[in-house]
Structure 1
Amino acid sequence: MQLDIFAKVGHLAGVDSFVCYDPADGAAEYFATNVRTARLFPQAGANLGERMANAFSQVFQRGYQSVAIIGTDSPDLPAAFIEEAYARLARPAVDAVFGPSEDGGYYLLAMKRLLPELFAAIPWSTDAVLARSLARAAAAGIAVELLPAWYDVDEAADLHRPGLVAPGNGAPLTRKFLLAYLTTVTS
């Protein structure tokens, strides 16, 4: 799934890719070998919110004017959604763009500048993540727009979503793996 997302982002015009990896699991070598179109840096922080805030901070410090974080658990996410996030950020009245996931979280967060309010007091890995994030944005006067909802793959049951094996789904590696896996499971 990850490799499909990295390939998709790597083909977007005018977008530079970064991979924030967990340094504790030895991922640096894996990503250096398999994701050559991205710059790598280790994640830092005690929870998901701190890790995302630090990732945004590191990229903004490199001079970027808009940054998006995309989860790697939505391999067939349409590239058009990512492009739309950047298009919306180009509007003067928009500070942040969320891509809501069906499970109450989000698959994408894009910002023009670091907005630390969006990472504090969020119940990470729950179905209240997006709602709490939007409430925090409203309380802080952060202008937010939403992309279309999409899904992510969190559990084995999610592997049976028809879009993951649909021809031309934008996730060829995931599709190939799942077709082989599902054939084995149902045999």
Structure 2
Amino acid sequence: MSKSHRTVAVAIMCKTPAPGQSKTRLSPPLAPEECAAISACFIRDLSQTIGALAESDDVVGFAVYTPVGSEAALRQLLPEVFEIAPQCDGDFGVRLLQGIRDLLELGHAGAILVNSDSPTLPASILREAVDAVLSGDNVVLSPAFDGGYTLIGLSKPHDRLFADIPWSTEAVYRLTLDRAREIALPVVTLTGWYDVDDAASLATLERELDETHPVSPIAGVMGAEARSSREFLRIRNTSKGPGERRA
């Protein structure tokens, strides 16, 4: 580990973008090639936010990725300071738990896994998550608007948090709280944010990144700049007719 004291690994859980395999729920309104392109933008933007956070001494940026063999393509999307680690096989809960274990076994005092679908996730939420993870044995969560969570942070692995969860449903966050209650694990709940995984949430992103009248999804909370996503949407909307410009 390159840093000399207690660090938290802040990792994007991601799939290296490829047409037909990335952000498929965004097609329509996006074409498969556009889905891959915007997925790449999301990873670029989120990794830039984490990379800026990693300028402090207690954060190390990571991508926990799939598939193995896509490392060269993935590294093109990440800051040079980022480290990468492959995801294991298994369902999403297995991969989350093993991702936490792998990062902690590298010697980090805590690990935070962030979904790759929130390009405007504010740095302030990530900073609060790092501080909370370093404060003790708890589970740190930023609930997502769709019922999941945008990030999860731990300083110790807790298998029960990931057991018997119906992933990609609106019950994920609620059931995770239930699991924490079962094992008497304290919960630190942060400000929530949103995932961009369908046409409605893509429209939310467009409103947030609108250059003339931006609309924050949470009043008083400023999202990250998300330059790559902003430019992708600008170019796409410029190329469409007036009736096609909003998802």
Q: TM-score, normalised by structure 1?
A: 0.92
Question: What is the aligned partner in structure 2 of residue 119 from structure 1?
Answer: 162
1:44-69 CA distance string (max 9 Å, x none): 03111111111111110011111101
Give the letter aligned to residue 183 of structure 1.
T
Question: What is the aligned partner in structure 1 of residue 208 from structure 2?
Answer: 163
1:102 equivalent to 2:157? Answer no
Question: Identical aligned pairs, as a percentage?
Answer: 32
* Match of residue 80, structure 1, among 113, 124, 127: 124
**Richer in helix (by share):** 1
- Kept in 2, the 8 Å contact 1:99–1:150? The answer is yes
Give the letter aligned to residue 80 of structure 1.
S
Shift of 1:132: 0.6
1:69 equivalent to 2:113? Answer yes
Shift of 1:186: 4.0
CA distance in 1, matches of 2:111, 2:161: 14
Equivalent pairs, count: 185
* Match of residue 10, structure 1, among 51, 54, 57: 51
CA distance in 1, matches of 2:241, 2:185: 48
1:83-124 CA distance string (max 9 Å, x none): 0011222334x5111000000000010111111111111110
Q: CA RMSD in A?
A: 1.7
Shift of 1:34: 2.7
112-121 or 30-39, larger mean C-alpha shift: 30-39
Secondary structure in structure 2 of the residue aligned to 1:34? coil
CA distance in 1, matches of 2:209, 2:146: 17
Secondary structure in structure 1 of the residue aligned to 2:209? helix
Shift of 1:37: 2.2
**Unaligned 5+ runs, structure 1:** none
CA distance in 2, matches of 1:21, 1:174: 20
Shift of 1:126: 0.5
Distance 1:129 1:71, change over 3 A: same
**Unaligned 5+ runs, structure 2:** 1-41, 215-222, 243-247
Higher gyration radius (CA): 2
CA distance in 1, matches of 2:118, 2:158: 24
1:116-172 CA distance string (max 9 Å, x none): 111111110101000011100100111011111111100133222111335784211
Q: TM-score, normalised by structure 2?
A: 0.70
